[in-house]
């Protein structure tokens, strides 16, 4: 543990100029956020009604009616506000800010006298905190708090923050070990990491303490939830919850005893993120090492190559080590966001590049695959293999959508993708008192201060299409000493470093090249990362991928799609002894680097009609085209596969 803490870059001080990422980020600012505002105000024709803002108006006494939507419908407003805050933090936008202020006024009006805030329980009059297992009150509080903190950081306006501090103060009175307080914790973790954020802006240690209480007591025996009415009497809000074991929400044992990632993936990674936050705040080595254990279990045994998690749809959950089916999996976009959050926190704790490898993998693959270029269609579930005719007729695949869906009812994923894109700067750079970390290779500029001296770092790159990253480092005052740490990804086959044209070595430690020197104005650091196409195989314990390969370039996973290769992709075999050839596709997503592969395919015309027989199929030589996974399903419905059979 170091005393000199590492933090992510302040979004105010990062400007992203990247053409590739810019396309997505502009979508958030220009399309997604205005669209979502209309959506939660029930103004989008053809979309399911949200009732979200209407619920707040009813709770505030400005309108009469019943609560509608899910018990956690309030979080749609919260996630929208958080994404708006991230967006405003980068760039002012008056109309968005006006809408946000309007929403915040309404939220404040819906708050109860004692600080409690939740439209479902306020409107229905149901007993508060009576169903922590399913009621999502603390989960909802968490998203509200995250939004308030982000909005304060972006605008400096205190109103929302004050509302949420009042709520958090109320939570501190309601929950805790003292007699008369509730000794429970949330069914869906989220408030824990939010309370840490609230502590960081307010420095009120009660909030940190409450987060720690929730994490520390989770899983104590007898389990708190088993005494709640919903479980004792079978009065479930979500009847499907009744079949879930306690590991579904990570309350099957004390967290400090948990060594494998279990249960509902989003809950798990939100909870682990809070654990990493607590380890960071308390500089707790034991908690850090337990976070590492859980992270290693995910990344080395339970994560898809695309950076997604959740091998089963029922329970949207982790299953068993090395159980990674490619077609029946859940791989929710939100879980990938949570995995990136957890990994980024682990990087801040440990400065180990392996964590940023996973952040990068999650962002470049599953996160981007979740969103269509129109900004209004999304994947919640992200399979690695789809055959649409089968997915539509076999109900084992009923969670799979064969085309991206218009933002709908339970709107967790789209705003989660939006807030992640809007806060990308936070992942690209980090710094402590004397070191700037360059984590991701995205054309951008960041500014920070060391001992009162302003420093700027600009990146020029077109990664991973090209491995050359040019960094311009400029201290306000020439001759300043500080350290630049450039990530060398684990997949990189060698890197050459030049400073002002002269080859240098630097010090490589846990995936970072440390350059400690006296910097002059406009020093130029060029890092040549060798990132050719490469064939990647699974550990053979992953039974679904035996005999198969995937293609990657840098962090980007490629796939075969029907649009390029026709049907029956599982009948293709790749000859990996032939190097993949680069092929630039100017149409696909306005320009994308693809790959041409050599191999063979089953000749289905010669396949015959009988279902079982002694003949072997006939193969014919064939070329195949692979495209980045994040591009898939942008040319209509069709087959797709990430894992391809490999010629022996």
Q: Contact residues for its own copies (CB under 8 A)?
A: 299-301, 303, 305, 311-315, 317, 319-320, 322-323, 325, 328, 387, 389-390, 393-396, 398, 534-543, 546-547, 568, 570-571, 602, 604, 607-617, 645, 647-648
CB of 308 to its own copies, least distance (A): 13
Catalytic residue of the set 137, 316, 360, 646: 316
Q: Which has the closest alpha carbon to 376: 77, 34, 22? A: 34
CB of 215 to its own copies, least distance (A): 25
Task: Locate 592 and state its tokens.
Answer: 């994308």
CB of 136 to its own copies, least distance (A): 22
d(C-alpha 303, C-alpha 545), whole Å: 13
Instruction: Give the H/E segment covering residue 53.
Output: helix 52-59
- 591 vs 608 by CB, closer to its own copies: 608
Q: Are strands 619-628 and 592-602 parallel, antiparallel or unpaired?
A: antiparallel
CB of 181 to its own copies, least distance (A): 35
d(C-alpha 275, C-alpha 193), whole Å: 8
CB of 99 to its own copies, least distance (A): 38
- 236 vs 568 by CB, closer to its own copies: 568
Task: Locate 529 and state its tokens.
Answer: 């990362």
CB of 282 to its own copies, least distance (A): 30
- 209 vs 322 by CB, closer to its own copies: 322
- 36 vs 311 by CB, closer to its own copies: 311
DSSP state of 32: I
d(C-alpha 287, C-alpha 254), whole Å: 13
DSSP for 90-114?
HS--HHHHHHHHHHHHHHHHHS-TT
- 459 vs 538 by CB, closer to its own copies: 538
Q: Is 265 a catalytic residue?
A: no
Q: Is 316 a catalytic residue?
A: yes
Catalytic residue of the set 230, 265, 334, 412: 412
Coil, helix or strand at residue 34: helix
CB of 348 to its own copies, least distance (A): 24
Instruction: State how far the alpha carbon of 348 is from the alpha carbons of 4, 209, 354, 429, in Å.
Output: 11, 21, 12, 11
d(C-alpha 341, C-alpha 349), whole Å: 12
CB of 586 to its own copies, least distance (A): 30
Q: Which has the closest alpha carbon to 167: 122, 133, 126, 134? A: 122
Instruction: State how far the alpha carbon of 71 is from the alpha carbons of 119, 236, 559, in Å.
Output: 8, 12, 38
- 333 vs 600 by CB, closer to its own copies: 600
- 453 vs 607 by CB, closer to its own copies: 607
Coil, helix or strand at residue 230: helix
Coil, helix or strand at residue 625: strand
- 314 vs 584 by CB, closer to its own copies: 314
- For Cα atoms 205, 206, 207, give the angle at the middle one, nearest 5 degrees: 90
Q: Which has the closest alpha carbon to 470: 492, 447, 438? A: 438
d(C-alpha 110, C-alpha 131), whole Å: 21
How many CB atoms neighbour CB 318 within 10 A? 26
Residues acting as catalytic residues:
316, 412
């Amino acid at each position: 543990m170091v005393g000199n803490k590492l933090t992510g870059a302040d979004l105010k001080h990062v400007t992203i100029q990247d053409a590739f990422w810019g396309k997505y980020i502009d979508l958030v600012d220009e399309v997604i956020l205005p669209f979502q505002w209309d959506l939660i105000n029930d103004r989008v024709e053809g979309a399911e009604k949200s009732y979200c803002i209407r619920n707040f108006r009813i709770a505030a006494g400005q309108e009469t009616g019943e609560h509608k939507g899910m018990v956690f419908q309030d979080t749609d407003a919260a996630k929208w506000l958080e994404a708006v805050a991230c967006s405003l933090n980068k760039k002012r936008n008056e109309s968005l800010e006006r809408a946000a202020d309007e929403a915040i006024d309404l939220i404040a009006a819906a708050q109860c006298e004692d600080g409690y805030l939740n439209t479902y329980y306020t409107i229905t009059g149901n007993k508060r905190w009576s169903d922590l297992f399913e009621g999502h009150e603390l989960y909802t509080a968490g998203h509200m708090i995250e939004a308030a903190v982000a909005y304060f950081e972006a605008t400096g306006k205190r109103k929302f923050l004050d509302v949420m501090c009042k709520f958090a103060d109320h939570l501190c009175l309601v929950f805790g070990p003292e007699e008369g307080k509730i000794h429970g914790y949330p069914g869906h973790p989220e408030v824990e990491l939010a309370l840490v954020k609230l502590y960081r802006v307010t420095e009120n240690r009660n909030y940190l303490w409450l987060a720690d209480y929730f994490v520390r007591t989770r899983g104590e025996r007898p389990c708190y939830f088993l005494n709640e009415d919903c479980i004792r009497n079978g009065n479930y809000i979500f009847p499907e919850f009744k079949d879930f074991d306690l590991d579904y929400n990570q309350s099957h044992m004390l967290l400090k005893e948990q060594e494998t990632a279990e249960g509902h993936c989003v809950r798990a990674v939100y909870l682990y993120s809070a654990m990493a936050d607590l380890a960071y705040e308390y500089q707790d080595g034991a908690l850090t090492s337990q976070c590492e254990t859980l992270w290693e279990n995910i990344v080395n045994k339970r994560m898809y190559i695309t950076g997604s998690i959740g091998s089963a749809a029922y329970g949207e959950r982790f299953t068993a080590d090395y159980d990674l089916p490619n077609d029946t999996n859940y791989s929710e976009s939100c879980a990938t966001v949570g995995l990136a959050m957890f990994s980024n926190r682990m990087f801040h704790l440990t400065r180990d590049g392996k964590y940023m490898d996973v952040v990068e993998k999650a962002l470049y693959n599953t996160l981007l695959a979740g969103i269509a270029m129109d900004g209004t269609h999304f994947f919640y579930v992200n399979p690695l293999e789809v055959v649409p005719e089968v997915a539509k007729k076999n109900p084992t695949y009923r969670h799979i959508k064969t085309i991206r869906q218009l933002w709908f009812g339970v709107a967790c994923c789209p705003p989660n993708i939006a807030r992640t894109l809007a806060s990308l700067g936070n992942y690209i750079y980090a710094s402590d008192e004397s070191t700037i970390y360059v984590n991701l290779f995205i054309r951008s500029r960041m500014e920070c201060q060391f001992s009162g001296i302003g420093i700027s770092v600009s990146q020029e790159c077109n990664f991973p299409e090209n491995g050359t990253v040019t960094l311009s480092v400029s201290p306000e005052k020439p001759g300043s000493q500080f350290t630049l740490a450039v990530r060398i990804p684990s997949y990189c086959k060698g890197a050459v470093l030049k400073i002002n044209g002269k080859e240098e070595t630097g010090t490589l430690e846990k995936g970072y090249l440390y350059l400690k020197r006296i910097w002059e104005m406009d020093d130029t650091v060029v890092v040549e990362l060798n990132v050719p196409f490469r064939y990647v195989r699974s550990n053979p314990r992953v039974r679904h991928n035996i005999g198969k390969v995937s293609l990657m370039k840098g962090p980007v996973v490629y796939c075969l799609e029907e649009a390029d290769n026709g049907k029956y992709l599982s009948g293709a075999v790749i000859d990996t002894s032939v190097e993949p050839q680069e092929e630039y596709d100017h149409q696909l997503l306005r320009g994308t680097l693809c790959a041409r592969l050599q191999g063979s395919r089953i000749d289905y015309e010669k396949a015959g009609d009988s279902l079982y027989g002694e003949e072997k199929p006939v193969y014919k030589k064939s070329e195949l085209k692979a495209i980045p996974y994040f591009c898939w399903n942008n040319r209509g419905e069709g087959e797709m596969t990430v894992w391809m059979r490999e010629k022996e």
